[in-house]
Structures are given as C-alpha cells and as structure tokens.
Amino acid sequence: MINLKGGHVVITGGSFGIGLAVASECLRVSGGTCALTLVARGAVGLAAAVERLSVEARGAGCDAPRIRAEVLDVSTHDSAIVREAAERIVHGGGGAGDDGGGAYGPPDILFCVAGTSFAGRVVDMALETDGEREDPTLRTRKLMDVNFFGTFSVVLAFVPHMVPTKNGRRRSIVLTSSAAGQAGVIGFASYSSTKFALRGFAESLSMELRPHGVDVTVAYPPDTDTPGYAKEMAEGKPEECSLISGEMGLFTAEKVGRGMVASARRGGAQAYWGLEGWMLATVTAGFGQMGGPAIGFWEVMELIGQCLLSGVLRAVSLCYLWSFSCIVDKCYKERLRLIKEREEGEGACGEKKK
C-alpha cells in the first residue's frame, strides 16, 4: 500500500472533474500532507483548483499546503515540451503556482486523467458534407492526440524519474480509460478506439515496470457527472448511445476519484464502479495483468472470480447485448419513420405549390 503522507502526486487534467476529485481524495488520505502537482491547459482553472485544494489541505490540519500547477497541453506533438514540464515538476522551479518549497521529487503516483470525447454514428459522420462541423477524421485524430498520445507522452516523460524505486518503495501509474474502453457502444466508435488503445498500452507497460517497483492501474469509469460530461451531453449524443450508456447510471466525480486513489495505492490492475462495472471487468479480464505484489484480499477474490465466473458472465453479457440490439433497432425504425413522414410532408407541400 502506497503511503501518501509526505508523498508527491501528479495529476493531468487536474483542474476539474475526475482529476480534481482525485486530488481532493489524495489530500484526504494523507491528512493534507501530500504534495500535489496539477497539470492542465487552462491557467485560470488551475489557479481556482489550487486555491480550493489549499483550503481543503488546511482544513485537514496542514498549515503549509504543497500544491503547484503546471500549465501544459498534453496533446502537443512536441515531446520535448512535455519532458521539460516533467523536469520542472520533479526538480522544482518555474511552474505556475510555485510555492517556493523546493523540489517535490518523483511522483509516488502519476494519474493520467486528461481526456476528451465526442459521440456520433459513423454513418452520420461519413455523410457530413455541409462544412458546418469539423471533419470527423480530424476530430478523431484530436481525440487520439489527447486521450492516447497525451497519456503516452506524459508517461514517457515521467518514467525515467520513477524508476528504479529505492528501499523497496513502490510507485504507481494510473491510466484513465473508460467503460467504453471495455466494450464498444454505438456512437462511441472514435472515443472507444482511443480508450481501448490505453488498455493495450497499460498491459505492456505493467509487465515492463513491475520489476522496477512501479505498478500500473487502468481505471474504467462509467458516465461521471463532470463538466466534460455536461459538454458531451450539450453537444448531443445519438439516442441509442444515451440509452445504452445510461444503463450503468451516472456516478459522481468524488466516488470515481476515491476508487482510483484506492486502486492506485494498492497497486490494483484495474478500477471499476458499480455492478455493471464489476461484470465488465470480470468478463473482459482475458489475458490482463494481475496487479502489483501488494494486492490484498479483495484483489485475490477478484482474480478467483474471474477464473470461476467468466463463462457465466459471458452468458449474462449476451442478455445485455440482446437488449442493446433491441434499443438500436427501435431507434433505427423510429428514425426511418420520421424520415418518411418528413418526405411525405415535403411532397404534399410541393403538390400544393403546383
């Protein structure tokens, strides 16, 4: 179990949503004593987050909170910029909100939370020719730049500082995938692709870093009540996408943050939420990693459950998939009906004009 008292935690996407909730939970479990470095693109949001977390740290009994902000766009194609930011974070000096407290050192836990999304049917994206919306291929590339390469470049920048660990002290890296990174859902073809990629990266990285004393956790949060989720809903999602993803419910950022921190401290291979989250984690475990050597009773029970219940849960998943197919078929028929009514209405108007 990683002890965060007096430790250092780095969080990308730390200015709001899940990232901010993770930071708050780290302060709670450390009694306000852990050093935090928040990484995000917006200086204003970072400043507000630092101020809020400083108040929380003092409320937990820490008179001198150690909280810094680093303004960085993780999706940059210039990896040197990310490496330079990592150097500043580890060795101190120059970061926005620098408290003058010297170097915080390598992170005990690196949370890669920064991400973005958009939803849309592939057929609809392929037919977007009106020029009013950004090219769907370009939008998908931007998703990959943030969700996958933004994580990949940050990990590459920090790994040299995190290995090897000393005195048997373990560290942890957390990659934030999604429930849509375990099972593809209509409307999330672009988004799911970026999140599935993170799982492959995590499994390879876990096997490599385990001997160095660094554990790798993949988090699979469901729909979470964050500004990013509100933006996604405001932009519009295919009806069937909303209905299917809504099956898992809407979780608070605080609950997701607590789960991520707990799994990271234990060195668990994955973090999930709710009954459906457990089922997805079990049925998709496959050839996934087992977690770090510090895993406890519940992780062992989880592994036993994967061995014994995978076949049963595959049968249960078929029931879910049948239900999802019914939703997709119903929505498709409703769209056809509306199209037919609109065409008939336009035809009637044309006849009247004649």
Task: Return the bridge partners of 12, or none.
Answer: 39, 112
| First-last CA distance in the chain | 79
Distance, CA of 184 to CA of 207 (rounded, Å): 25
Per-residue pLDDT of the chain (354 residues; tens, 9 = 90+): 899 998 999 999 999 999 999 999 999 999 988 999 999 999 999 999 999 999 999 988 888 889 999 999 999 999 999 999 999 999 986 555 555 556 889 999 999 999 998 888 888 877 665 555 667 788 889 999 999 999 999 999 999 999 877 777 889 999 999 999 999 989 899 999 999 999 999 999 999 999 898 999 999 999 999 988 888 888 878 888 888 887 778 899 999 999 999 999 988 889 999 988 999 999 988 787 776 666 667 778 888 888 898 889 999 999 999 999 999 999 999 989 888 888 777 666 666 555
CB 162 within 8 A of CB 107: yes
- Please name the residue that has the structure tokens 């970026």: 194
Check if the beta carbon of residue 70 is closer than 8 Å to that of residue 39. Answer: yes
φ/ψ of 39, rounded to 5, equals -120, 130
Output the pTM of the full model: 0.88
Q: Residues near 348 by Cβ (< 8 Å), separated by ≥ 6?
A: none
Q: What is the DSSP letter of 171?
A: E
Would you state the structure tokens that stand for residue 113, as one six-digit string? 């939370």
Q: How many helices (H) and strands (E) does the chain have?
A: 12, 9
Strands (E), 13-134: 35-40, 67-71, 109-112
